[in-house]
Structures are given as structure tokens and as C-alpha cells.
């Protein structure tokens, strides 16, 4: 049988982060004690008040379809949140609720991109950005960001990447995989360039509640009305509220963009999970203390991980100021031989650590940079200590 697939489908690669996580989980299922620094998912359970709201929604029979772009009550709660926390004025017509922030991003590129358009992606990047752009028949344009500049895009490098085909810039702050947080002055520079060239900003702010060392998340859309009209804000419930499996994300944008995304979603998926939407209303409007408790726990783990990595011979890292990731520099190990294996890439080292140390990490090549490995500290401090000890042992025994 000759199965002819679309060229687009054949050009989309599976997520490396999810494939590594699947291998680690299979090893665990086989009885192997694997410590995973892989997929970025809070190790906390969803707060009780949110779970209770979901149960109450079921009891009240809120189990039918909602409007395709989300419950009006949830949209109102999102607008209130954006005004209070981000100094952003939006109306429900500007909001689209989707099946997770990943779905929100997919909707964005489908709505704004035409064949041949270019989308600027700072490197290191979250693994799905390039393929999402390609699925919208547009072309990703990569701009390398150095560790010395905290992996943040520089003004001159951004200007060099802009062409007549540039449609959008992806701005992920706090960042996955680097944990970098853009300052107000850095955002103002980017906003000025976007306005001058009439370029959309896709502002992925899913980690906004996880910042440290006094850093404050600032939404680029809040700087002025001109950049607000060009910005599509992406957020959701997964990271800040430990609701990864509930699959609720949302966007805030100009009404014209929101309408286009809502129309597309109505045909692709219809509404997000009704019960999860009701739970999200409680998440946004209810007690927020659990969010701060999680942030404090992440901060403790972050400090330990950074200190311990910098103690291990052959490894180093800078201190991230947001999210729950560390980009571990492995440049000193490239070209060395460990356990009879020549380390020529981040994938080589990742496979070595999984097979010989039972530690799962994500190779930097998944994020567009092969001289780093991403570690997540969304894990218990006990596991973090043990996992880093194993890495130290395998590299320096």
C-alpha cells in the first residue's frame, strides 16, 4: 500500500522533549530509578480550590458546549486579571480561550501568517516554535542569543534579521528554555523596532508568575497603545497554577486578530474543556496563595541547582531569573570521551546520562543550540540533589 502523506506533515518533526520523557517513563515502568530533569511540568498538584470548582461544575451539570472561543465568564475573569496584574485593558471580544497555550500559539500563526512570511525566533527557543511557524506555511528566521547577554536578543541582531517578509517576532519572557526575563528598557527597544517596521509581537508569557531575585514580569503590550495593537499576548493556566493537564490557554489581542483565531478554532476544535474553563475562573479569581508557595519552592531549587552545577567539573551555568529551567553549558565536555563514548553533541551527552546515570535531561539541540543542556527544577529538592550527584559521578568518577 502506497501511503501518500502531505509534504507539510512529513516535514514536522516529533518533539525531542516528549520523546526523551517517554523513554525515561518507560525505564521507570521497567523498574529503573530514573530522575527526570526533562519535561517542564510543575511537580505540584492543582490547588484544592480549583479542583473543588471543577467538581462543583460537574455537579451543576456544566458539561455541555460553550462558545467556541470560551465562556464569557472566563473571558471576563481574564480581562480583570490582565488589568490588575499587567496594566492591560481588554474586552471579552479581545480574548480567545484555547486548549492550552500551545494551541493558542498554533492559532496565532495560522491567523497571521501567509506563505513565505518570516517569523523571527530568538535562539535558544522553545521546541515547538519553528514547527508551528512551518505548519502555517511561513519560514522561521533564527537569531542567536549569547549566554553573555542572558540569552536575550540584541537590538542590532534583531534589526539585521528583519526583511520585507518579516511578519512577527516571538518574545518568550520568562523564557523556556533559558529562564531569561526581559527588562522594561529591553522591551521598549524591541517595541520601538516592531512599531517602526509594523511587525507583530507574539508575546508568550506563560511563565509570568515565576520570577525571582526581585525581577518583575512586564508585558510588552502594556508599554503603549501602538505596540498593544501589534502584540498577541499568550498565557494560560498550566505553569502558574499547576494545571498542565487541564489544557486551558488564552490570548489577548486586537479584536480583528481575535475574531480570526476564534473562527478558526470553531472549525478545528470548538470550545476548550467546559469543566476546565469553570475551574480556571476559580483559579484566576480565587485564593492566590498557592501560586506564591510554588514560586518560593521553585526559587529554593533554582538556587541549589545553579550552585551545584557550577561546582561540577566540566559544567557551568548562569543564574536564570524566571520559569523553572537552567541552561547548562557543556562546551568543556565536547570532544571528550566518557564511558567509552565520545561526546560530540548535546544529544550524545543526554543519551550517556540517561543510559549510564539514569538521569533524563533535554539536549540543547532541541532548542537550537548544541553546546547546552536544559535541566528543569520542577522536581523535588531531594531528586535534584540526587540527580546532580549522579551527573557529577558519571562525568568525574
Give the domain ranges of the chain.
7-45+290-396, 62-285
Q: Which three cell numbers stand for residue 308?
A: 551545584
Rounded to an integer, what distance in angstroms lies between the CA atom of residue 43 and that of residue 22?
Answer: 17
The predicted structure's pLDDT at residue 2? 85
Domain 62-285 grouped into CATH 2.70.70.10: no
Three-state DSSP state, 345: coil
Q: Which portions of the chain are predicted below pLDDT 70?
A: 17
Q: What is the pLDDT of residues 130-149, one digit of tens each?
A: 999 999 999 999 999 999 99
Instruction: Please identify which residue in the block is written with the cell numbers 518560593.
Output: 296
Q: Are 140 and 286 in contact (CB under 8 A)?
A: no
Q: Are 346 and 371 in contact (CB under 8 A)?
A: yes
The predicted structure's pLDDT at residue 183? 98
Closest CA to 38 of 26, 22, 25, 21: 21
The predicted structure's pLDDT at residue 301? 98
The CATH topology of domain 7-45+290-396 is: 3.90.1150
The predicted structure's pLDDT at residue 318? 98
Q: Are 320 and 178 in contact (CB under 8 A)?
A: yes
Rounded to an integer, what distance in angstroms lies between the CA atom of residue 106 and that of residue 373?
Answer: 26
Rounded to an integer, what distance in angstroms lies between the CA atom of residue 220 and that of residue 227?
Answer: 7
Rounded to an integer, what distance in angstroms lies between the CA atom of residue 295 and that of residue 275?
Answer: 26
The predicted structure's pLDDT at residue 8? 85
Q: Are 323 and 299 in contact (CB under 8 A)?
A: no
Backbone dihedral region for residue 389 (phi beyond 0: left; psi -120 to 50: alpha; all else: beta): alpha
pTM for the whole thing? 0.96
Amino acid at each position: 500500500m502506497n501511503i501518500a502523506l502531505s509534504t507539510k506533515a512529513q516535514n514536522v518533526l516529533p518533539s525531542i522533549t516528549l520523546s526523551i520523557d517517554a523513554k525515561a517513563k518507560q525505564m521507570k515502568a521497567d523498574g529503573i530509578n530514573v530522575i527526570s530533569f526533562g519535561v517542564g511540568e510543575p511537580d505540584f498538584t492543582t490547588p484544592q480550590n480549583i479542583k473543588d470548582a471543577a467538581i462543583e461544575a460537574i455537579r451543576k451539570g456544566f458539561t455541555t458546549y460553550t462558545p467556541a472561543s470560551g465562556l464569557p465568564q472566563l473571558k471576563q475573569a481574564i480581562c480583570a486579571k490582565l488589568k490588575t496584574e499587567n496594566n492591560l485593558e481588554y474586552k471579552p471580544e479581545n480574548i480567545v480561550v484555547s486548549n492550552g497555550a500551545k494551541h493558542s500559539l498554533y492559532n496565532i500563526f495560522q491567523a497571521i501568517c501567509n506563505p513565505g512570511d518570516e517569523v523571527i525566533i530568538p535562539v535558544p527557543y522553545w521546541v515547538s516554535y519553528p514547527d508551528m511557524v512551518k505548519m502555517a506555511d511561513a519560514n522561521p528566521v533564527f537569531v542567536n542569543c549569547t549566554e553573555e547577554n542572558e540569552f536575550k536578543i540584541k537590538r542590532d541582531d534583531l534589526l539585521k534579521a528583519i526583511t520585507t517578509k518579516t511578519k512577527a517576532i516571538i518574545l518568550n519572557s520568562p523564557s523556556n528554555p533559558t529562564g531569561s526575563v526581559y527588562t522594561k528598557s529591553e522591551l521598549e527597544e524591541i517595541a520601538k523596532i516592531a512599531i517602526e517596521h509594523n511587525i507583530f509581537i507574539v508575546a508568550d508569557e506563560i511563565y509570568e508568575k515565576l520570577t525571582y531575585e526581585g525581577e518583575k514580569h512586564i508585558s510588552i503590550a502594556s508599554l503603549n497603545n501602538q505596540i498593544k495593537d501589534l502584540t498577541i499576548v499568550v498565557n494560560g493556566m498550566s505553569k502558574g497554577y499547576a494545571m498542565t493537564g487541564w489544557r486551558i490557554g488564552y490570548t489577548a489581542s486586537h479584536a480583528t486578530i481575535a475574531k480570526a483565531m476564534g473562527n478558526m478554532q470553531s472549525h478545528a476544535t470548538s470550545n476548550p474543556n467546559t469543566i476546565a474553563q469553570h475551574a480556571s475562573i476559580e483559579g484566576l479569581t480565587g485564593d492566590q496563595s498557592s501560586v506564591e508557595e510554588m514560586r518560593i519552592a521553585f526559587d529554593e531549587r533554582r538556587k541549589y541547582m545553579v550552585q551545584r552545577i557550577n561546582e561540577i567539573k566540566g559544567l557551568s551555568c548562569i543564574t536564570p531569573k524566571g520559569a523553572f529551567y537552567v541552561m547548562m553549558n557543556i562546551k568543556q565536555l565536547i570532544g571528550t570521551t566518557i564511558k567509552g563514548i565520545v561526546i560530540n553533541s548535546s544529544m550524545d551527552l543526554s543519551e550517556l546520562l540517561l543510559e549510564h546515570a539514569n538521569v533524563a535531561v533535554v539536549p540543547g539541540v532541541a532548542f537550537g543550540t548544541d553546546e547546552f543542556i536544559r535541566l528543569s527544577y520542577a522536581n523535588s529538592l531531594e531528586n535534584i540533589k540526587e540527580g546532580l550527584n549522579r551527573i557529577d559521578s558519571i562525568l568525574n568518577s
